[in-house]
Chain A
């Protein structure tokens, strides 16, 4: 089974929201992964603030992100005028049709700079499809599945990285990536990951869901 390819040209920037940052830092291989990625890796200042407000609850994501920024592996950008227009339209309105600031800023920045946002969130992907049909987006797993990342880490460490993201950050895996993830980490490990859908975990553990007649 071939892993999904990250449909990006190495010159275009990847713009990560808080979810992607948390997943990648939880892998414990963030430095190796970002070094291997040919693309610029960007977060907006709004996402940095969002993660910093999580620090008080003992999560180390902001600290780790600052280390990556300090090591020039991640760039921080502020929204320009064009991004601000997109941002406004993504945060103003009804709950069903809006996103939180970090999610909105990530998409807005990507639109402004011609980058590729990483969106793990189902609703955000729906909104992107509806409003920005020409915007190409990815998700965190696309980063793990990038051929350069796989080459740099090797299968064993890549498996560990993905497993860490699943266990420590409860990373969400979209349906089209499930097979790849399960094949990488193995069925036994998949069975223990609560953030994977129950049907995947139950199948992999050999349990069968029966409904009494």
Chain B
């Protein structure tokens, strides 16, 4: 049994400050709301004065957390939101929500991994800070370098999310957020790299956003980013990330080779050619055409021409690809669940091992009790006494 007396005041104070920051209160505001002097709160956060349980309860309630969630030994309170708030462009309410969501998911995941003794592999790509000179050339070089590092060769990347997660140890969350937001990126020493992609976007757009964020992971790792769908990318960092993304998904030589193969010597670029190429590289038709323009495989303005002449529609795609047109989007389906599949599985294991109660898990995953119970039931994993399977682990 532990009490507040047994905890280091500096540790408790540090946690309180981090949680206050995440909840976006100033010291004055928080002190006023719970009826203590600002100087008292300052002393508490600095570890100079021990907090009392009733003060802790009032602060926890104000910050929207439980005392236990705030104070238990293994709790993770990494503050991503304050870093985003420091960005030069104001973060709007929609982005705020997305940041809070990503932060909450990552914190929960890390706490559960720590509790279960799961060590996540950290195969982060080598960092390549942006140097003076041609940004696009650097991005192209670094993207091809990473492809080689990952052993991709000339192969298209059909599932960039799994690649990021499995090969690079990135936490990727595909969730539904405001449609104006394509993605988020943040890096923290404790959480590792975290990317959020928008489940409301198409698979192809998400892939492009993911590749863009991968560019940030390589070049500007310590800077968080909100990627807006229609943003005009002007800064060197953004031009780097865009170029990186394009080359990472559609590298020049493989595109040229495939182009030759698909067009088979034809002197016209048809909708069929675009559809086949886009499908092969798992990018959008627009991204594919613009890449062809960039590589001088087709005239500048080709995409605009298609747009002005009926576009390249889903109907065209169905005609060309037939059954191949239907690409299962498992991540979009998963995004409809109240929390991520990985968190489902971690939570279930933590519950089975009696590491966390229903109350603790519901708070950690921001679910209500019934949602949590449905999640645990639907995974259909039973305790040892009810499961006939033998212990198969070595």
Interface residues of A (CB under 8 A from B): 17-19, 22, 26, 49-50, 53-54, 57, 59, 61, 84, 87-89, 91-104, 120-124, 126, 131, 168-170, 172, 194-195, 197-199, 209, 211
Contacts and interface: CB of A to CB of B under 8 A. Distances in A.
B72 A91 contact: yes
The 10 closest A-B pairs by CB, nearest first: A100-B359, A170-B373, A54-B368, A93-B2, A91-B68, A101-B66, A194-B377, A123-B354, A100-B360, A89-B1
Nearest to B338: A57
B190 interface: no
B385 to A, nearest CB: 8
B121 interface: no
B68 A104 contact: yes
Contact of B69 (A88, A94, A100, A124): A100
Given A49-B61, A87-B53, A121-B357, A92 B7 contact: yes
13 contacts: A22-B369, A59-B370, A94-B73, A95-B356, A101-B68, A103-B359, A123-B354, A123-B356, A169-B370, A170-B374, A194-B374, A195-B377, A198-B387
Contacts of B72: 91-95, 98
Given A101-B68, A198-B380, A95 B355 contact: yes
A103 B357 CA distance: 9
Interface of chain A, main secondary structure: helix
B323 interface: no
Contacts of A121: 357-359
Contacts, number: 129
Contact of A99 (B53, B357, B371): B357
Nearest to A119: B357
Contacts of B355: 95-96, 123
Contacts of B61: 49
B118 interface: no
Contacts of B357: 99-100, 103, 121, 123-124
Give the interface residue-count category, chain B. Answer: 35 or more
Interface in B132-149: none
Contact of B73 (A93, A120, A169): A93
Interface string B66-87: 1111011110000000000000
A54 B338 CA distance: 14
Given A92-B71, A100-B68, A126-B354, A199 B386 contact: yes
B161 to A, nearest CB: 27
B54 interface: yes
Nearest to A96: B355
B389 interface: yes
Contact of B3 (A92, A124, A195): A92
B189 interface: no
A38 to B, nearest CB: 27
Contact of A198 (B53, B369, B373, B382): B382
A87 B1 CA distance: 11
Given A94-B74, A194-B377, A99 B2 contact: no
B92 interface: no
Given A50-B359, A98-B68, A100-B360, A19 B378 contact: no
B360 A199 contact: no
B164 to A, nearest CB: 29
Contacts of A211: 388-389
Contacts of A98: 68, 72, 360
B390 to A, nearest CB: 8
Given A49-B61, A100-B66, A84 B370 contact: no
Interface in B106-135: 111, 115
A99 B57 CA distance: 14
Given A99-B360, A169-B370, A197 B74 contact: no
B97 to A, nearest CB: 13
B4 interface: yes
B386 A54 contact: no
Contacts of B377: 170, 194-195
Contacts of A102: 66, 359
B371 to A, nearest CB: 7
B235 interface: no
Interface string B342-355: 00000000000011
B258 interface: no
Contacts of A19: 358-359, 369
Given A95-B72, A101-B66, 10 more contacts: A22-B370, A53-B64, A54-B369, A92-B2, A93-B2, A95-B73, A95-B356, A99-B359, A168-B370, A194-B377
